[in-house]
């Protein structure tokens, strides 16, 4: 399916004031652009409210019925046809999809692309002063009226973390409450993101200066040089590469860092974890940092790549498929090239791509204590020397957790 030429930028984030400021600034700086927004707050009444607006106000509004009692499903069914209508009209230089609070950009970027449209940017709007409070918030989305479906069991913390880490661009509000620690935490959580300032997190007023005359064409040929936010909206986005970057086997995790009271510990080992000792330490490890993630392996499950994902004092551990070292050579052709490349860069002569690669980021991180706790969960020299047949007989606390 040939992609329609309408550029689509997705702007999301739980920080609603910052998100709206970013959206309003795009409307003001790209003449003729429109914003599509689906309000899922009305889902309990059985509908999702769709609004299409431009810099002058609301152009149209309507309702989309729930699909299978799922507000996000209704959004998916309604969004692409609306974008197709705008694309066919041929008069809109940029369509801005403003996601509702808890909707995650990954799913919507994939829906838009699958619908034959071109996603040219994915932006998450952030208020630096709210990063730590949201990462520390282990409440269910439903408790705050933010659930996208009756079955939505996500928390504020894990939803915010995924919104933040998926987007290659962060629209950062100039929050007077934010300090150096807040800004450093944001930088360490997503060090590869391009940060674009958007002013204060309140509603954006009309731009002044060069941005006021920024052309819809980001090349700048028709007027003054576009703002950084406009350039980010048109920069281009690779949905497949973004998905690969989130896979635990090849995710580009943060590097070691320590500044302004915030630290990132990268813990990398080859020896497997003792399943029972690691299970007993899970609570302490989960609470040791505001955010931790990565991949690991257990001695009694040497073929399974396990994904570690913790935020808000809650940990999700799940199987993410096999380690490549456990696959027959013939199966490697079915593995995406990016996965094979990541494994080759970190290959061990005995264990292949099996490893412990966990990253912990937090203000006030007890790096030494955390490292000692992690080391204590590995097999001892004697346990390691006993070999794989003995490892598989070790008691495991993970069978129930992993449902295997």
Task: List pLDDT tens digits, range 56-78.
Answer: 998 988 888 777 767 777 788 88
Query: What number of other Cβ atoms are within 10 A of residue 117's Cβ?
Result: 24
Q: 307: part of which helix (H) or strand (E)?
A: strand 301-311
Q: Is 257-402 CATH 3.30.1220.10?
A: yes
| pLDDT band at residue 92 under the 50/70/90 scheme | very high
> Which residues belong to CATH 3.40.50 in the chain?
7-246
What pLDDT is recorded for position 342? 86
Please state which architecture CATH assigns to domain 7-246: 3-Layer(aba) Sandwich (3.40)
Higher pLDDT, 272 or 246: 272
- Return the beta strands (E) in 163-228 as ranges: 169-172, 194-197
pLDDT score for 187: 97
Dump pLDDT digits (tens) for 254-268: 999 999 999 999 999
pLDDT one-digit tens code per residue, 105-160: 999 999 999 999 999 999 999 999 999 999 999 999 988 888 887 778 899 999 99
CATH 3.30.1220.10 residue window(s) in the chain: 257-402
Q: What is the structure's pLDDT at 333?
A: 84
Write down the pTM of the prediction.
Answer: 0.90
Asked whether the predicted pLDDT for residue 214 surpasses 60, the reply is: no
> From CA 346, how far away is CA 294, in angstroms rounded?
14
Angle between helix 105-114 and helix 71-89 axes, rounded to 10 deg: 50
Candidate ranges 120-134, 191-205, 345-359; pick with highest mean pLDDT:
120-134
Residue 102 to residues 39, 62, 72, 164, 315, Cα–Cα distance (Å): 11, 21, 10, 12, 19
Q: What is the pLDDT of residues 276-323, one digit of tens each?
A: 999 999 999 999 999 999 999 999 999 999 999 999 999 999 999 999
Tens digits of residue pLDDT in 26-50: 999 999 999 999 988 877 677 788 9
- HSE (CB half, 13 Å, CA atoms) of 270? 10
Within 8 A by CB and 6+ apart from 334, the residues are none
DSSP string, 18-58: HHHHHHHHHHHHSTT-EEEEEEGGGGGGTEEEEEEEETTEE
Q: Rounded to an integer, what distance in angstroms lies between the CA atom of residue 267 and that of residue 278?
A: 15
SS3 content of the chain, % helix, strand, coil (to 5): 40, 25, 35
């Amino acid at each position: 399916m040939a992609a329609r030429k309408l550029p689509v930028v997705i702007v999301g984030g739980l920080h609603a004031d910052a998100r709206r400021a970013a959206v309003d600034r795009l409307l003001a700086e790209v003449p003729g652009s429109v914003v599509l927004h689906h309000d899922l707050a009305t889902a309990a009444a059985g509908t999702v409210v769709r609004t299409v607006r431009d810099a002058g106000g609301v152009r149209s509004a309507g309702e989309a019925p729930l699909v299978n009692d799922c507000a996000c499903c209704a959004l998916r069914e309604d969004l692409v046809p609306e974008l197709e209508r705008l694309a066919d009209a041929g008069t809109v230089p940029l369509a801005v999809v403003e996601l509702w609070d808890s909707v995650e950009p990954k799913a919507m970027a994939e829906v838009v692309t699958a619908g034959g449209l071109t996603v040219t940017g994915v932006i998450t709007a952030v208020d630096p002063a709210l990063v730590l409070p949201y990462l520390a918030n282990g409440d269910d989305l439903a408790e705050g009226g933010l659930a996208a479906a009756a079955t939505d069991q996500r928390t504020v913390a894990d939803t915010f973390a995924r919104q933040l880490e998926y987007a290659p661009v962060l629209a950062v509000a100039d929050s007077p409450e934010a300090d150096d620690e807040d800004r450093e935490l944001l930088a360490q959580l997503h060090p590869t993101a391009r940060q674009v300032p958007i002013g204060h997190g309140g509603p954006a007023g009309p731009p002044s200066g060069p941005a006021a005359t920024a052309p819809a064409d980001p090349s700048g040929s028709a007027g003054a040089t576009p703002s950084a936010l406009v350039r980010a909206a048109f920069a281009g986005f690779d949905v497949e590469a973004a998905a690969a970057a989130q896979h635990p086997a090849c995710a580009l995790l943060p590097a070691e860092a320590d500044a302004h009271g915030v630290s990132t510990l990268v813990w990398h080992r080859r020896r497997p974890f003792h399943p029972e000792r690691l299970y007993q330490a899970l609570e302490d490890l989960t609470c040791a940092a505001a955010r931790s993630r990565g991949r690991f392996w257990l001695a009694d499950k040497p073929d399974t790549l396990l994904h570690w994902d913790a935020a808000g004092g809650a940990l999700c551990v799940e199987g993410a498929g096999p380690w490549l070292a456990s696959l027959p050579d013939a199966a490697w052709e079915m593995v995406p090239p990016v996965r094979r490349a990541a494994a080759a860069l970190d290959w061990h002569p005995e264990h292949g791509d099996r490893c412990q690669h966990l990253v912990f980021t937090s203000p006030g991180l007890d790096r030494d204590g955390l490292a000692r706790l992690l080391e204590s969960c590995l097999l001892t020299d004697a346990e390691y020397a006993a070999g794989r047949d003995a490892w598989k007989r070790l008691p495991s606390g993970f069978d129930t957790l992993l449902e295997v």
